[in-house]
Amino acid sequence: MTVLRRYLAAASESITAAREPVFDEFAAADGTARQGWSSLLAGLDEFADTDLLQAQHDVVRLLEDDNVTYTPNPASAMSIADEPNGHPHPDMPIPEGLVEPQPWRLDPLPLIIDDREWAGLEAGLVQRAQLLDAIMADLYGARRLLSRHHIPAAAIFDHDEYLRPLVGSGTPTGQRLFLVAADLGRDSSGGWKVISDRTQAPSGAGYAMQNRRVVSRVMPEIYHQANLHRLTPFFQAMRLALVDAAPHAVEDPRVVVLSPGTLSETAFDQAFVASLLGFPLLEGSDLTVRDGRVWMRVLDKLEQVDVILRRVDSGWMDALELRPDSRLGVAGLLACVAGDGQRVEQSRQWRVGESCAYAAATRSVRANARPITATALCRYMVVRRPVSIEPRLEQSGLSGHSADQQGSWPQRPGGSTDEAAARIARGQDQGGAASLCRAGDAAPVVRADERGRSAGSPQRGAPLVRRPQR
Amino acid sequence: MLGGLARVTDDTSDRRGVLVSDPAGQLAKDVWVVGSEPVAAPRIVARARPDDEAVFVPAMSASIAMVPRVLSDLYWFGRYAERAEDLLRLLLATRTVAIEADLEVTHGRALDVMLHAVTHVSTTYPGFLTTQAEMMPEFRSMLLDRHRTGTAAHSLGALSMAAQGVRDQLSEDVWMVLAEIERALATLAANPHDQGIQLTDISERVLSGLLALAGIATENMVRDAGWYMLDSGRGLERALQILALLRATICQTRSPETDRTVLEAVLIAAESIVTFRRRYRAGSGVDALLELLLIDPYNPRSVGFQLQRIRTDLRALPNTSPTARPLRLLDSLAERVRTSDPVVLAESVDGHRSGLQNLLLGLHNQLRALSEAIRDHYQQQPPTQRPMFRPDAVGGTA
C-alpha cells in the first residue's frame, strides 16, 4: 500500500471519528481523493513513494539557481494576538541594520483544486473586487457611504492612508483598482473564506509563477498529465492591461514598475514580475516630476512615463503630500495624478485599497486599466495553512519533515476564520478590522517592506537599496 | 489568475493560531487548478486603440530605458566581479608560493611579500601586516567573511546586491552561476577544520564561476549602454588591481631569489605567466614584466589594454563628446602609460624603485579620478530627497 493510499484510509477514519466537522484538502470523508486530485492520484502516488525526497532537493537547488529570496520583515510576523490595537507589540524587536534575504521555501507537491470549484470561487472574487472598486470610488467621490452612515466617518477620515489630495478627482472610467488579491482560507466545512483583501500593492504573482516553474521541472510527467490552467495568460493580460492604461493618444506607452528597492520584503517578486512583463524596474529616485508629468531619468535626458505599476505603498509614494520622511517615492507624484484625474487612493482600514497602476501622464488620461478578462481581475489566492493535509502528510512521512506531533492534529481553522470573515462581512468591528489587516499582513507574500515600523527606526523611509561603496 | 500562492506551515505548536505563523517557518505551495478536460488557453485580447494597427516599432529607434541607477548598478557589477576574480587569483598565487615556502628559506621572504600584497591590494588592514596573522584563518576570512570590507566574500555579496537591483536587465544564467559560487562557499564554511586543501579547491571553483560570469557578460548581453558601463567598470577595476599589485610587490628590490619568486607569483596572479615565458627569454626581470602588465596594449591583462577598453566603452555610450571629462582623463592616462620606459622604471636606487612607485601611485590616483568622472558624467543620481519640514520625524540616517 502506498503512502497516499494509507493516508486516505487514515484520513477517512479520523474524519468519521472526529466530533467536530473536519475538512481535509486531499481526502474526502469516504476515503477517496477529492475531485481534482483523483485524476492525478496514480501519478502522485508513484511520485510520493519514489521521487519525493529527490524532488525536494531539486526544488531547493532550482530556487537557489534563480536566487529566489524573501526578506523577512519582523513586523510581518505579528499576528492578531500581538496587536489588539493595531500597534506594534512592544516586545517585538526591530532589528538594527538590514535583514538578510532568506531562501524561498517551496514544497514540491502542489495544492490541487478542481476547476469547477474554482469557478465559483473566482466569480466570488471578481464580484468582491468590483465591490471594493465601487467602495473606493465612493470614498473618493460622492462619499454616499459616509453620508448615509454605512461607514462611520471617523473610520475613514482618521485613517492616515486616506489620501485627501485625491478626493474628488474622478476618473473617466471610474475604475480605480487595477490589481486585487485576496487571502483565502477554508472553514471546517470546506467553504472558502476571505481572510483579508489586498488592494494596496499586492505581491505574490511572481512567486506563484516561480513556484510553477520549479514544480513543473521536478515533476514533469504529472505536470503534463494534468489538465492544468496555466499562469502565463495572467501575465499577458496584466501586460496588456498596463499598456491599455496609458492615455490613448500615446502611441508606444512607457510602462515602468516602481519598486521600493532591492532590500524590500518582496524584492524578488517585484523584479521577477517586471522581467515577466518586460517593463523596467525602477526606484523612486529614477523618476522625477516636471511640468505636471512624470519623467524617467534616462542617460542624457528625461523620458516621459505613461503608466506606473506601483509596488511602493501609497503612503510612501510622495514625500511632498504624504509621509515627508519617505524617500521611496517621487515628490510631486500625487499632484500629477490628481491633476490628471488619476486616482491613487486607498483606505486601508476597510481594506479598500487603490489601483496599482495609474497613468501618470497629462492630457486626457484614462486612469486605470480595465481588466481584460475575468482571470485578470481575480488575481491569486493565498491560502494560509488552511490545509489539513500538511501535518498529516508529515505523519505519514510524506513531506520529509520530522513527525514529532504524531497524533496531535492541529485545530481546524474553522472557528477563527469564520469569526474573522463574519467580522469583515458585518464591517462593524473597527478594532477587529484593523487587527485583521494585521493578520493578513503576516502573510509574507503580501506586504511591502516598510509599513508598520516604529517611528524613529533608522530604516524608516530610507531607500531600500544598498549602494556599493568604495 | 487561475492558480495562486499557497502557504502552509508544519509548525503545529504555533501559539499564534492557525491563521498566522512565522514566515520563516512557512512553506509555499503551488496551486494547481485542474479540469477534467484538457484546458484551452484563454484568448487575451487588448482593447483596440484608435489607429492601432500593430505597427512594428523598431527597437533600435526606441530609446533604451537606462536610468542612472541602473547604469551605476551595472558598473559596480563589473567592478565587483573583477575585484573578486583578481583577489582570488592573488590568493591562489600566494598559496602556491606558500606551498613552496616550506622547502627553501628564500621563499619564506617571498611569501611575506605576497602576504603583504594580499593585504595591501584587498585593503583588508591590518591583515598580514601584524606579525601574529596566520595564513589559513586569514585566507578563510577572505573567502567567507562578508562583513569585512575588501574580502572576496564582501565583493561577492556586493556583486549579488548590484545584480539584484538590475535583475530585469540580466540573463537568468547569472543567477545560476552566483548560486554555484554560493554553494561552493557554503561547502567551505561547513568545514571549519580545513587545512587548506579544500580552501584551494573552493577558490578555484569560485574563480571558475566568476569566469563564467565574465563569459555571460560577453556572450549573453546586448551591447547597450548598460553593457558598456559594465565593461568599463570591469576594465577600470582590473587596471586598479594591477597597479595595486605592482605597487605592493616590485617597488622594492630584494635578494635575486626572492625577486624571482615574487615576479613569478605576480605574473601568475595577473594571469600572464604563460605569455611572459613564451615572449621573453629566461631570466627577464622587472622591465619585461612592466612592459607586459603595464604598457602592452595587446595583453588583456595589462593596464594599457584596460585604458583602451574603457575608451571604446565610453565612446559607445550616448552623450559622450570627444572632450568629455572622462575621455580627457583617459587620454592623459594613456599617454602617461604609453610613454613610460620599462627599463628606466626598473632601475633601483638603494633597493627602491622610486620612479616606478611614483608612476604607479600617480596612475592609481588618476584612475580613481576617472572613476569619479564616470560616475559624475553617466551615473549622476538626483540629490537625496529630504523633507523641508518636520526634520524630527526623520530617522537618524536621513
Please give the Cα distance from B123 to B245 (Å, whole number): 11
Least confident of A4-18, A406-420, B196-210, B346-360: A406-420
Percent of chain B with pLDDT over 70: 83
Chain B: residue nearest A179 by CA? Answer: B1
Q: Which of A112, A288, A370 sits opposite B32 (nearest CB)?
A: A112
pLDDT in tens, B10-46: 554 443 334 444 455 567 888 888 888 787 766 666 5
Phi, psi of A435 (to 5 degrees): -70, -25
Which of A125-139, B318-332, B370-384 ranks highest by mean pLDDT? B318-332
Predicted pLDDT at B13: 45
Distance (Å) from the alpha carbon of B47 to chain A's nearest alpha carbon: 7
Q: How confident is the model at residue A292 (pLDDT cuts 50, 70, 90)?
A: confident
Is the distance from CB of B226 to CB of B98 less than 8 angstroms?
no
Where is pLDDT greater, at B271 or A392?
B271
Identity of the highest mean pLDDT range in A53-57, A196-200, B28-32:
A53-57
Confidence (pLDDT) at A184: 79
Of B27 and A112, the one with more pLDDT? A112
* Cβ-based contacts of B368 with chain A (< 8 Å): none
A415 vs A339 pLDDT, higher one: A339
Nearest 5°: phi and psi at A163?
A: -90, 95
Nearest CA in chain A to B71: A299
Residue A70 bridge partners (DSSP): A102
Look up residue B397 and give its amino acid: T
Q: Which residue has the higher pLDDT, A176 or B164?
A: B164
Lowest mean per-residue pLDDT among A57-66, A112-121, A413-422: A413-422
DSSP SS3 for A44: helix
Grid coordinates belonging to B26: 512557512
Chain A residue numbers with beta carbons less than 8 Å from the beta carbon of B318 are 299-300
Assess contact for A300 and B321: CB atoms under 8 A: no
List the B4-9 sheet strands across, edge first.
A106-114, B26-34, B4-9, A378-384, A180-186, A192-198
C-alpha A256/C-alpha B254 separation (Å) is: 60
Cβ contact A281–B35 (<8 Å): no
Cβ contacts of B48 on chain A, cutoff 8 Å: none
CA B340 vs. chain centroid, Å, equals 28
Tell me the nearest-neighbour CA distance from B279 into chain A, angstroms.
37
Q: Which three cell numbers stand for residue A427?
A: 464591517
pLDDT average, residue stretch A379-400: 26
Q: Which of A102-106, A151-155, A225-229 comes out lowest in average pLDDT?
A: A151-155
B87 close to B143: Cβ distance less than 8 angstroms: no
Q: What percent of chain A has pLDDT over 70?
A: 62
Q: What is the mean pLDDT of residues A400-418?
A: 30
Q: What value does the mean pLDDT take over residues A146-156?
A: 83
Which ipTM was obtained for this model?
A: 0.77
Average of pLDDT values for A261-286? 87
Residue-wise pLDDT tens digits, B185-232: 999 999 998 888 899 999 999 999 999 999 999 998 989 889 999 999
Q: Do A114 and B396 touch (CB under 8 A)?
A: no
For position B105, what pLDDT does the model report? 61
Residue A234 or B297, more confident:
B297
Tell me whether residues B39 and A211 touch, CB distance under 8 A: no
| pLDDT of the residue at B311 | 95
pLDDT at A272 over 60: yes
- Residue A227: which of B15, B36, B381 has the nearest Cβ? B36
Contact yes or no for A240 and B17 at CB 8 A: no
With beta carbons under 8 A apart, name residues in chain A contacting B4. 204, 208, 379-383
Give the pLDDT confidence score for residue A326 in this predicted structure: 72
Least Cα distance to A229 among B29, B28, B5, B1 occurs for: B1
Please state, rounded to an integer, the average pLDDT across all residues of chain A. Answer: 64
Strands of the A255-259 sheet, one edge to the other? A281-283, A255-259, A307-310, A357-359
A252 with B62: Cβ contact below 8 A: yes
For residue A99, name the pLDDT band (cuts at 50, 70, 90): low
Cα B392 vs. chain centroid, distance in angstroms?
39
Answer yes or no: do A205 and B1 touch at CB < 8 A.
yes
Answer yes or no: do B3 and A231 touch at CB < 8 A. Answer: yes
**pLDDT bucket at B294, cuts 50 / 70 / 90:** very high
Torsion A21-A26-A28-A30 (CA) sign? negative
* Helical (H) or strand (E) element with A8: helix A3-17
State yes or no: pLDDT of A396 exceeds 50.
no
Task: Please say whether the beta carbons of B199 and B140 come within 8 A.
Answer: yes
Q: Look up residue B293 and give its DSSP letter.
A: I
**A40–B398 C-beta distance less than 8 A:** no
